[in-house]
Chains A and B, each alone.
Chain A
Amino acid sequence: MERYDRQLRLWGALGQDSLNRSRVCVVGPATPLLQEVFKNLVLAGISSLTWLKVECAVQSGSLFLAELKKDLEPLASKQLEYEENDLRKTLQQPQYDWTRFSVVILTCIGEQTAMLDLNEIRRQRGTKFPPVLNTFVSGFYGYIYLVLSETHFVLQAHPDSKKYDLRLQNPWPELINYVDTFDLSKMDIATFSGIPYTVLLMKCIAKLERDGNNGRITIDQMKKVLDQICLPLGNDVIYEPNYVEAKRYAYLACSQNDCCKELEDLLRNLEISDYGNDWHDTYNYEILTLLLTLKNIAKENGELSFQPLTGTLPDMESTTENYIRLKKLYEVKAKLDKSRVEESLARSKKIVSQDVLETFCSHYGEVRKILPPKSDLLGIFSTSNALLDALVMVQFWEQPAVTAEDKDEFIGLRVDDNYSVMAFFGGAVVQEAIKLITHHYVPIDNLFLYNGINNSSATYKI
């Protein structure tokens, strides 16, 4: 795994394992884009590849990979499983096994019939069809369009700012007892300075509740109460790092819930009808099973919701002893919550792999859901977006490689392909494939447009 050390740190051993086991199908003519896509797939650790070729009269662009298979082999850590077939013939085989692919990537498909045929095959297979990433580049422009056949669940979204699951507003009994062991009225500043700020915040919330504040707490209220309970120890208290932290993180007490609100919505809108056995991707099935299990647990206990505690505590100013006791509390509770999930799964006789269960429970707040688009592969034909429209025109109806026209709305659209833009798209489309295969990070939902003249991009949902 040493070879993949730098990327393991992004998606973990589980994500890398998914990549190693995955099969990817790349469809299209021999273009620089296609070779960039293959190169990036193999580098990421994907070793099972199928190329459905489109014969192309014009050799477009420069190739640095002279013979695809031979040149890809040294980039892989294990033997490549590589197949090459003709696209048109493949589309005519009703028995062709498309479901074995984790992702299908279409690169610069210029024939409308191929697109129609593939769309029809996809429609017939229902949800059991891999996600399709359709990408096309012309001149300085291009698009990537993701078409899912089933709901995609992200196991770990890796949001920008990590939200810690602290449960300040709804502590469990052991945590309450711990907070109560600190009596601020009988302590000197030295002892005070060793108390974790989360304890101070929970004391503030408790006091606000005692004082009859039932509504939403504001930051001002928190800061005021913080001073009320801390300043009696002496005015120097405001220089203590834990007091400073409590002030800085006072906002944590004001959001309705420590964990994301979007997740509650996700759970609420989750219908049992979403649930069938016809899943193309096991992870999607497993994550949905886990989400439904949480719903069940809440229902059985007459609770509004049940969210397993993630169990990680951020670093904070504290004595080591206080910190370790607090950390233990969170760890024990997280373990307990996880075992509740396991028990409920067992009762309903559902099986979920241990790795997914662990990640799910320890990063519960990072689960995301992406629905299949309302349109299908043909969605690109009926849009009101001017750039996409122009690109689709070039893709299916116009001769490529017309020289630049000044009057064009998009300068440099109808010029020859240029390697840099192709390399950019090769990186971007494989980036999305990796997100889909690993279930880490949120993929583009669902159309990405790029303008290489002014380096801008946008994503749309169609």
Chain B
Amino acid sequence: MARETNLIKIIGEDNFQKLRSSKCLLVGAGGIGSELLKDLILMEFGEIHIVDLDTIDLSNLNRQFLFRQKDIKQPKSTTAVKAVQHFNNSKLVPYQGNVMDTSTFPLHWFEQFDIIFNALDNLAARRYVNKMSQFLSLPLLESGTAGFDGYMQPIIPGQTECFECTKKETPKTFPVCTIRSTPSQPIHCIVWAKNFLFNQLFASDASENEEGNKDWGTDDAEEIKRIKQETNELHELQKIIISKDESRVPEILHKLFIQDINKLLAIENLWKTRTKPTPLSDSQISGSSKINKFDSNSVGTIHEQINHFIKITQKLMNRYATEQSHIDFDKDDADTLEFVVTAANIRSHIFNIPMKSVFDIKQIAGNIIPAIATTNAIIAGLSSLISLRVLNLLKYAPVSKFTDLNMTFTAKASNLSQNRYLSNPKLAPPNCNCPVCSRVSRGVIKLSPDQLKKIKLSDLISLIRDKYDYPEDISLLDASDQRLLADYDFEDLNGRTLSEVNLGNGSIILFSDEEGDTMVRKSIELYFDVNDAFPHDTCKLPDIRIPLVKSSETSTNGDEDEDNDVATTTDKQEDGGIVILDEDEGEIELATDPLDDSKKRSANLEGFGEPSSKRKKLTNESADSDIIELD
């Protein structure tokens, strides 16, 4: 389709040619992504690469205008590219994949781009792309929306604040005992139903769980014993699911809602200041054949909840057999949602907690963030517009320093008191305490696959120590999951090879000076670039100089940054909600999401049997507090 390009007139012929020859990466083809793709195409960017992991869902269609009813279940990235062909004049390259997958998207893949646009829906991927932008000094345009609120932040590595320079809302967690023994709010029962019960019955591999050093949220040995025993007994319940014998479903009810509750009641310490739960009665769980359809906005009676629980468990039982013995919870899978809703509500009823409607539980269990086309259009418009300035293509508005640019927040839709619709603070220089962009040096270590299998962890430590002049006392972490690999009193892994300690292509390690005198060597973060093409004896550390810094500088905490409330509020909106039970950590984490790959990675390491370092310490002040936050 022929069309006249306005942009030549706006930015001039030479700059237009620059734009035509530039390559951008668009991470995410969802709400903001659809809008951005259209805007970038109409701005005539030369080449646009689009990465998205997801497939299209019905609930996307209220804003992701490139998708149609018929596209449901199709990959977003490729479908989006097909949908824009009739007005496209750029080279488009779609990928269906997780941007954090280092085998598809290694560091050098990112190197080809001139600018990155983030249109993501989760914290983990945002952090990851931010890190890539820092490794490669690529400008990044970060954005996000939640309902009427949205933000857009240009990040120019080394010049302006990075995504991690301000503190992000950390996931909320609950102590195990609140979820398993003493729920007091609907969310506790929903977490129990979704992350514990559902997973144990339909998504776990039925292997016995190893109990590490958990934060139980209680010191009561009797209670801990009970929780452990209960977990084992749940494996018995899973056998009922495997049996496919529908008549045995009431056994599940009996176990969960009578037997287990009675066991809890027997622990008298728990009920000194709490209202005691009331187990269901045998007559209640007999069920009846008459079943009305659930109204998603009302709550219904306990009797209805029980009937629906029986029916849906039977249905899932049959699905379990046909779906390779594994069903994942998905908020848009009506069966799994109904199971979680009914199980949570029955438990709530038992603990005298108000029951919730399907609509409400879906929001909590599914981490649903309201989303509308208009806010996405606003943010995508702002983000694409400022890219002209980040790339310095506007002659009449030249950028002399990047801190002259600004980020934008749409003011709360209803907050007009400040006489503003957008707030647009100027970009700040990097926060000198930022653990990502300021407190570490950064580089790429090149290795052949051979060397990965040959070099021992202790060898690597010596190499780094000698090359950059680090002292004897150091620490080494796997930065992707904060796993401790070595420090002064942990040398168990030193004899193993790099591949044996699960380091490989895409791994990022953090090497720090722990001597802690007045001056310390700055920490270094090294990205593993493992490539077949390298000569087989390749093990090359980057040639950089790592400065000595005052030790106070590295140890100061960046807590003051909380004042930057604009950033924190936005993230609260964005990431609040989903709940993940991380059995090995012994705490339940809110606000991670299905794309969070690092979670899975740490789960894979479960069988590794080594103590895992916990940099994140729990502030467990009282066993009764409902929420424990990671600091």
Interface residues of A (CB under 8 A from B): 2-7, 9-10, 13, 32, 36, 39-40, 43-45, 59, 61-64, 66, 74-75, 77, 139-140, 154, 157-160, 190-191, 193-194, 239, 241, 315, 319-321, 324, 401, 403-404, 406, 411-412, 415-428, 430-431, 434-435, 441-442, 444-445, 448, 450, 452-460
B43 partner residues in chain A, CB cutoff 8 A = 418-420
- CB-CB under 8 A for A423 and B384, given A159-B414, A431-B374, A459-B421: yes
Select one of B65, B274, B406 contacting A43, CB under 8 A.
Answer: B65
Report the minimal beta-carbon distance from B405 to chain A, rounded to whole angstroms: 8
Contact B414 A442 (CB under 8 A): yes
Select one of A39, A61, A160, A427 contacting B375, CB under 8 A.
Answer: A427
Chain B residue with Cβ nearest A420: B385
Sample of 28 A–B contacts (CB below 8 Å): A3-B58, A3-B62, A4-B62, A6-B63, A7-B372, A9-B368, A10-B147, A40-B373, A74-B69, A75-B61, A75-B65, A77-B61, A157-B414, A190-B272, A191-B273, A320-B184, A404-B396, A419-B39, A420-B39, A420-B382, A423-B39, A423-B377, A424-B382, A427-B376, A430-B374, A441-B414, A455-B386, A455-B405
> Given the complex of chains A and B, what is the CA–CA distance between A10 and B622 in angstroms?
36
Contact B62 A321 (CB under 8 A): no
Contact B148 A7 (CB under 8 A): no
A191 partner residues in chain B, CB cutoff 8 A = 273
Contact A459 B420 (CB under 8 A): yes
Chain B residue with Cβ nearest A422: B381
B289 within 8 A of partner (CB): no
A140 partner residues in chain B, CB cutoff 8 A = 385
Which of B6-14, B130-138, B429-437, B584-592 makes up part of the contact surface? B6-14
> Given the complex of chains A and B, what is the CA–CA distance between A39 and B10 in angstroms?
25
Contact B65 A9 (CB under 8 A): no
A458 partner residues in chain B, CB cutoff 8 A = 419-421
A412 partner residues in chain B, CB cutoff 8 A = 10, 394, 396-397
B351 partner residues in chain A, CB cutoff 8 A = 320
- 12 A-B pairs besides A10-B148, A431-B378 with CB distance below 8 A are A3-B58, A10-B372, A44-B374, A193-B273, A241-B624, A319-B273, A319-B275, A419-B6, A423-B384, A444-B421, A456-B406, A456-B424
B239 within 8 A of partner (CB): no
> Given the complex of chains A and B, what is the CA–CA distance between A429 and B156 in angstroms?
31
Residues of B in contact, count (CB < 8 Å): 77
> Given the complex of chains A and B, what is the CA–CA distance between A458 and B272 in angstroms?
57
Q: Mark B59-93, 1 if CB is under 8 A from A, else 0.
A: 10111010011000000000000001011000000
B410-446 contacts to A (CB < 8 Å): 412-416, 419-422, 424
A421 partner residues in chain B, CB cutoff 8 A = 381, 385
Q: Which interface residue of B185, B273, B363 has the most chain A CB atoms within 10 A?
A: B273
Contact A66 B1 (CB under 8 A): yes
Report the minimal beta-carbon distance from B595 to chain A, rounded to whole angstroms: 18
- CB-CB under 8 A for A190 and B273, given A62-B87, A75-B65, A241-B625: yes
> Given the complex of chains A and B, what is the CA–CA distance between A458 and B416 in angstroms?
10
B363 partner residues in chain A, CB cutoff 8 A = 9
B352 within 8 A of partner (CB): yes
B616 within 8 A of partner (CB): no
Chain B residue with Cβ nearest A239: B622
> Given the complex of chains A and B, what is the CA–CA distance between A431 and B372 in angstroms?
9
- CB-CB under 8 A for A6 and B420, given A319-B275, A412-B397: no
Contact B624 A36 (CB under 8 A): no
Chain A residue with Cβ nearest B371: A6
Contact B396 A411 (CB under 8 A): yes
Select one of A315, A424, A427 contacting B385, CB under 8 A.
Answer: A424
Contact B373 A43 (CB under 8 A): yes
Select one of B1, B274, B396 contacting A320, CB under 8 A.
Answer: B274
Contact B39 A6 (CB under 8 A): no
> Given the complex of chains A and B, what is the CA–CA distance between A422 and B381 in angstroms?
8
> Given the complex of chains A and B, what is the CA–CA distance between A157 and B394 in angstroms?
39
Select one of A74, A431, A457 contacting B148, CB under 8 A.
Answer: A431
Q: Is the interface of B mostly helix, strand, loop or mixed?
A: loop
B3 within 8 A of partner (CB): yes
B65 partner residues in chain A, CB cutoff 8 A = 39, 43, 75
Chain A residue with Cβ nearest B8: A416
> Given the complex of chains A and B, what is the CA–CA distance between A13 and B357 in angstroms?
15
B5 within 8 A of partner (CB): yes
A453 partner residues in chain B, CB cutoff 8 A = 394, 397
Q: Mark B297-322, 1 if CB is under 8 A from A, else 0.
A: 10000000000000000000000000
- CB-CB under 8 A for A43 and B63, given A2-B58, A3-B58, A454-B406: yes
Contact B374 A40 (CB under 8 A): yes
- CB-CB under 8 A for A44 and B62, given A419-B43, A445-B416: yes
> Given the complex of chains A and B, what is the CA–CA distance between A82 and B23 in angstroms?
39
> Given the complex of chains A and B, what is the CA–CA distance between A435 and B374 in angstroms?
11
Q: Which interface residue of B297, B379, B394, B414 has the most chain A CB atoms within 10 A?
A: B414
Chain B residue with Cβ nearest A58: B4
B42 partner residues in chain A, CB cutoff 8 A = 32, 62, 64, 419
Chain A residue with Cβ nearest B363: A9
Contact A418 B61 (CB under 8 A): no
B352 partner residues in chain A, CB cutoff 8 A = 320-321, 324
Contact B59 A415 (CB under 8 A): no
A403 partner residues in chain B, CB cutoff 8 A = 9
B173 within 8 A of partner (CB): no
> Given the complex of chains A and B, what is the CA–CA distance between A444 and B417 in angstroms?
11
Q: Which interface residue of B62, B87, B274 has the most chain A CB atoms within 10 A?
A: B62
Q: Mark B157-189, 1 if CB is under 8 A from A, else 0.
A: 000000000000000000000000000110000
Chain A residue with Cβ nearest B406: A455
Contact B424 A6 (CB under 8 A): no
- CB-CB under 8 A for A7 and B62, given A421-B385, A423-B381, A456-B422: yes
A43 partner residues in chain B, CB cutoff 8 A = 62-63, 65, 373
- CB-CB under 8 A for A455 and B422, given A190-B272, A435-B413: yes
Contact A44 B373 (CB under 8 A): yes
A427 partner residues in chain B, CB cutoff 8 A = 373-379, 381
Chain A residue with Cβ nearest B395: A404
A44 partner residues in chain B, CB cutoff 8 A = 62, 372-374
Chain A residue with Cβ nearest B360: A9
Chain B residue with Cβ nearest A461: B419
B123-141 contacts to A (CB < 8 Å): none
B241 within 8 A of partner (CB): no
Select one of A6, A157, A457 contacting B370, CB under 8 A.
Answer: A6
> Given the complex of chains A and B, what is the CA–CA distance between A40 and B3 in angstroms?
23
> Given the complex of chains A and B, what is the CA–CA distance between A245 and B61 in angstroms?
43
Chain A residue with Cβ nearest B57: A2
A430 partner residues in chain B, CB cutoff 8 A = 373-374, 377
> Given the complex of chains A and B, what is the CA–CA distance between A193 and B622 in angstroms?
13
B232-275 contacts to A (CB < 8 Å): 272-275
Report the minimal beta-carbon distance from A434 to chain B, rounded to whole angstroms: 7
Contact A423 B87 (CB under 8 A): no
> Given the complex of chains A and B, what is the CA–CA distance between A415 and B12 in angstroms?
11
> Given the complex of chains A and B, what is the CA–CA distance between A139 and B368 in angstroms?
37
A445 partner residues in chain B, CB cutoff 8 A = 416
B380 within 8 A of partner (CB): yes
Chain B residue with Cβ nearest A456: B424
B397 partner residues in chain A, CB cutoff 8 A = 411-412, 453
B353 within 8 A of partner (CB): yes
> Given the complex of chains A and B, what is the CA–CA distance between A7 and B62 in angstroms?
8
B35 within 8 A of partner (CB): yes
> Given the complex of chains A and B, what is the CA–CA distance between A85 and B381 in angstroms?
30
Report the minimal beta-carbon distance from B24 to chain A, rounded to whole angstroms: 14
Chain B residue with Cβ nearest A405: B396
Contact B61 A3 (CB under 8 A): yes
Contact B59 A5 (CB under 8 A): yes
- CB-CB under 8 A for A441 and B148, given A6-B59, A411-B396, A459-B420: yes
Select one of B59, B87, B369, B379 contacting A64, CB under 8 A.
Answer: B87
B408 within 8 A of partner (CB): yes
> Given the complex of chains A and B, what is the CA–CA distance between A74 and B184 in angstroms?
46
Select one of B35, B413, B420 contacting A423, CB under 8 A.
Answer: B35
